[in-house]
Amino acid sequence: MWLHWLLAAALVAMFALGIYMTDLPFSPARLKLYNWHKWAGMTVLALSALRLLWRLTHPAPALPVTIASAMPAWQRMAHHGTHHALYLLFFAVPVLGWVYSSAAGFPVVVFGMLPLPDLVAASPDLADSLKPLHKLAALAMGALVLMHVGAAVKHQLIDRDGLMHRMLPGRKA
């Protein structure tokens, strides 16, 4: 639950920073933000690995019967499908960013101190093909997050079934 809210805030910030920094003119400030985006993204990747490990060792509590039985089959499928697709993108987005940086010939230096290995050798052609994929994956994640938040708000305001309490401190189910 705490990782959910921490990573929700971090992913929104990473998305906004990505859009903002790519629109800046070439300058030392742009370079600095690119480096921040890269090492902050690697921190998000590490926290996502921790989150996946936690999820695999601590399965999510089943939906309460009252809520599950009120949902048509397509909604139950969308519920699980969205969560699985999000988990996939938690890894695909930063790894595509990392492999793009390597192909572009710019290593990732965590906290400006610890250089990480390059995932592929520098290649302008590969970099050109990978650049739009990082953006596309981030946009897909953004679209899924909007659907996810829309569904959470619908459960809270229209169904009024208390689903939201499962993600808040002091939850009962």
Residue from the set 30, 91, 123, 131 that interacts with ligand HEM by CB under 6 A: 131
* Chain residues 133-172 in contact with ligand HEM, contact rule CB under 6 A: 134-135, 138, 145, 148-149, 152-153, 163-164, 166-167
What span, in angstroms and rounded, lies between the C-alpha atoms of 46 and 52? 10
Q: By CB under 6 A, which span of 25-33, 68-76, 95-103, 121-129 interacts with ligand HEM?
A: 95-103
Which residues contact residue 141 at a Cβ distance below 8 angstroms, ignoring those fewer than 6 apart? Answer: 11, 15, 86, 89, 90, 93
Burial 104-130 (b: 16+ CB within 10 A, else e): bebebeeeeeeeeebeeeeeeebbeeb
- Residue 25 DSSP code: P
Q: 29 vs 167, which CB is nearer to ligand HEM?
A: 167
* Site for ligand HEM contains 92 (CB under 6 A): no
Q: Which x/- pattern, by CB under 6 A, does the window 2-41 give for ligand HEM? A: --x---x--xx-xx--xx--x-----------x--xx--x
What span, in angstroms and rounded, lies between the C-alpha atoms of 52 and 13? 21
User: For residue 109, what are the β-bridge partners?
Assistant: 115
* Site for ligand HEM contains 119 (CB under 6 A): no
User: Please, are residues 42 and 94 in contact by the beta-carbon 8 Å criterion?
Assistant: yes
Interacting residues with ligand HEM (CB under 6 A): 4, 8, 11-12, 14-15, 18-19, 22, 34, 37-38, 41-42, 44-45, 55, 60, 83, 86-87, 93-94, 97-98, 100-101, 108, 131, 134-135, 138, 145, 148-149, 152-153, 163-164, 166-167
